[in-house]
């Protein structure tokens, strides 16, 4: 029995990975911009938003993975199956806008990192980021899902080291951290940044994608012990991946709160790099930039992967990855070429993402709660209530954000 348990444990570790690919979406350059801006402007105030968003994301990602394993369909395919063609096209259009907003964040972040590290012009850095993301996707196409997961997980570790390295130099005061866990806001701008953090954490394309990732990795197991075991492994996968992502996100905000608070000129990513360089030294600053670059490269490839899965599920059509990459790359390169503030563009892209969250989460909760679809693996009533609560709270926050933006308060 002991040997069997040990073998089962080793096999379980081998099966981990899909959630870590999805977790890259939670530590992308949009997170960097939102978290650095939050820490610089409001110190520890919005730390509770990161914690709450990460817990919500863990639940949502597990439901997405469960849907894929139990039904044998990705979330986009399951949604599209229940829609008429005009409704499917409309749904796909909003999902595609969200995918483009995602790409804006990833490409701009990679471009900023390349400018910091090598002095490259932003448009050139954006193009290089897009090309490298294609090369990462080629690994999946030519060498398979498992190697792609290992590469992305390796980049996730680089991101974690890059953004947490400063804690070896300066640590936050415990009382301030505890104070940041108390839910509250301070003016309209803090609500805008909270929505940006939320949009950067509970990311629609990651919700759509996770269901397809587990299918690519595990297939569609029949009901019984194998499926129950895979669902248990998936829960562990999600918990571990979201723990890493949540720690990295909290580290970004805490680094900004410790070193940059009260210096509004440091609210940009470039300003944050300069301030970290001046306060913590060149080594920590370079690690920060390397973490940002790894974030842009990994998340850009994962975003393109998700966009292709969304199109396949909703439109039942495949577009060559090079064509998709060129189409979604254009808005980001245009923003860089026209001279818009890249950090502000990153934050606003995350706000756009937050508007797409209900379109992913509401159908997901509904589908996974249907016993005729999920059988005995349908959500527990408590899980369904929590899922609806998460989706409704996100939707209400978006309504507040629309009002603030329309009235000019944000």
Q: Is 254 exposed, middle or buried (0-12, 13-18, 19+ CB in 10 A)?
A: buried
Please say if the pLDDT value at position 85 is more than 90. no
* pLDDT tens digits for range 372-381: 999 999 999 9
Please say if the pLDDT value at position 27 is more than 80. yes
Grade residue 125 by pLDDT with cuts at 50, 70 and 90.
Answer: very high
Q: Is 221 exposed, middle or buried (0-12, 13-18, 19+ CB in 10 A)?
A: middle
Q: Does 403 or 120 have the greater pLDDT score? A: 120
Q: Give kind and range of the element (H or E) at residue 103.
A: helix 85-118
Helices (H) and strands (E) in the chain, counts: 18, 0
* pLDDT tens digits for range 381-400: 999 999 888 888 877 776 77
**Chain mean position to CA 322:** 22
CA-to-CA separations, 388 to 126, 317, 354, in angstroms, rounded: 38, 31, 16
Tell me what pLDDT residue 264 has.
64
Q: Does 142 or 77 have the greater pLDDT score? A: 77
Kindly state the tokens that stand for 234.
Answer: 């998936």
Q: Write down the architecture of domain 10-407 according to CATH.
A: Up-down Bundle (1.20)
Tell me what pLDDT residue 266 has.
62
Kindly state the tokens that stand for 329.
Answer: 């790359």
Task: Flag the least confident range among 81-85, 137-141, 280-284, 306-310.
Answer: 137-141
**Cβ 336 vs Cβ 320: under 8 Å:** no
Please say if the pLDDT value at position 200 is more than 90. no
Q: What percent of the chain has pLDDT over 70?
A: 91
Tell me what pLDDT residue 7 has.
39
Tell me what pLDDT residue 68 has.
94
| DSSP conformational letter for 221 | P
Angle (CA) 252 256 262, round 5°: 160
* pLDDT tens digits for range 305-335: 888 888 888 888 877 777 777 777 888 888 8
Tell me the angle at which helices 282-315 and 321-337 cross, rounded to the nearest 10 degrees. Answer: 130
**Chain mean position to CA 205:** 8
Kindly state the tokens that stand for 49.
Answer: 């938003």
Q: How far apart are CA 157 and CA 152, in angstroms?
A: 9
Q: How far apart are CA 276 and CA 40, in angstroms?
A: 12
Q: How far apart are CA 343 and CA 9, in angstroms?
A: 43
* pLDDT tens digits for range 232-285: 999 999 999 999 889 988 988 998 888 777 666 666 778 788 888 888 888 988
Kindly state the tokens that stand for 95.
Answer: 């999902």
Please say if the pLDDT value at position 340 is more than 90. no
Please say if the pLDDT value at position 14 is more than 70. no
Please say if the pLDDT value at position 167 is more than 80. no
Cβ atoms within 10 Å of 408's Cβ, excluding its own: 7
**Cβ 311 vs Cβ 319: under 8 Å:** yes
| DSSP conformational letter for 380 | P
Q: Where are the alpha helices (DSSP H) in 165-260?
A: 174-179, 188-201, 204-218, 225-259
Sign of CA dihedral 56, 95, 300, 39: negative
Please say if the pLDDT value at position 8 is more than 80. no
Domain coordinates in residue numbering, the chain: 10-407
Rounding to the nearest 10 degrees, give the CA dihedral for residues 230, 232, 236, 239.
110
Tell me what pLDDT residue 10 has.
47
Tell me what pLDDT residue 77 has.
93
Grade residue 120 by pLDDT with cuts at 50, 70 and 90.
Answer: very high
Tell me what pLDDT residue 63 has.
96
Q: How far apart are CA 252 and CA 263, in angstroms?
A: 16
**Cβ 41 vs Cβ 267: under 8 Å:** yes
Tell me what pLDDT residue 3 has.
36
Q: How far apart are CA 41 and CA 194, in angstroms?
A: 12
Q: Give kind and range of the element (H or E) at residue 329.
A: helix 321-337
Q: Does 167 or 94 have the greater pLDDT score? A: 94
**Cβ 209 vs Cβ 304: under 8 Å:** no
């Amino acid at each position: 029995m002991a040997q069997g348990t040990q073998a089962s444990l080793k096999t379980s570790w081998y099966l981990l990975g899909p959630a870590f690919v999805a977790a890259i979406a939670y530590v992308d350059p949009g997170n960097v911009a939102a978290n650095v801006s939050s820490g610089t402007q409001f110190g520890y105030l919005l730390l509770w938003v990161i914690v709450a968003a990460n817990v919500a994301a863990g639940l949502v990602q597990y439901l997405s993975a469960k849907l894929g394993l139990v039904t044998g369909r990705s979330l986009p395919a399951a949604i599209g199956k229940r829609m008429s063609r005009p409704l499917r096209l409309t749904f796909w259009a909003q999902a595609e806008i969200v995918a483009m907003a995602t790409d804006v964040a990833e490409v701009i972040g990679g471009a900023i990192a390349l400018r910091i590290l090598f002095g490259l012009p932003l448009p050139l850095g954006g193009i290089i980021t897009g090309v490298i993301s294609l090369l990462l996707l080629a690994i999946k196409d030519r060498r398979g899902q498992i190697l792609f997961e290992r590469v992305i997980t390796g980049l996730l570790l680089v991101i974690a080291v890059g953004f947490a390295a400063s804690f070896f130099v300066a640590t936050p005061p415990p009382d301030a951290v505890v104070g940041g866990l108390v839910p509250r806001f301070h003016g309209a701008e803090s609500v805008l940044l909270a929505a940006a953090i939320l949009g950067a954490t509970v990311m629609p394309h990651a919700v759509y994608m996770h269901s397809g990732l587990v299918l690519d990795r595990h297939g569609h197991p029949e009901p019984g012990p194998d499926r129950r075991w895979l669902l248990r492994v998936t829960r562990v996968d999600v918990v571990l991946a979201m723990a890493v992502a949540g720690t990295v996100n909290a580290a970004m905000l805490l680094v900004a709160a410790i070193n940059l608070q009260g210096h509004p000129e440091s609210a940009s990513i470039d300003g944050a790099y300069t301030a970290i360089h001046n306060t913590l030294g060149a080594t920590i600053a370079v690690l920060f930039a390397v973490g940002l670059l790894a974030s842009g490269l990994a998340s850009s490839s994962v975003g393109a992967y998700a966009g292709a899965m969304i199109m396949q599920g909703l439109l039942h059509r495949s577009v060559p990855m090079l064509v998709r990459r060129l189409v979604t790359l254009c808005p980001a390169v245009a923003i860089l070429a026209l001279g818009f503030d890249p950090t502000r563009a990153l934050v606003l892209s995350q706000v756009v993402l937050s508007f797409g969250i209900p379109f992913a989460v509401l159908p997901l909760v509904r589908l996974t709660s249907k016993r005729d679809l999920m059988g005995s693996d349908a959500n527990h009533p408590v899980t369904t209530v929590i899922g609806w609560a998460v989706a409704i709270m996100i939707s209400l926050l978006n309504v507040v954000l629309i009002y603030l933006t329309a009235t000019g308060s944000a």
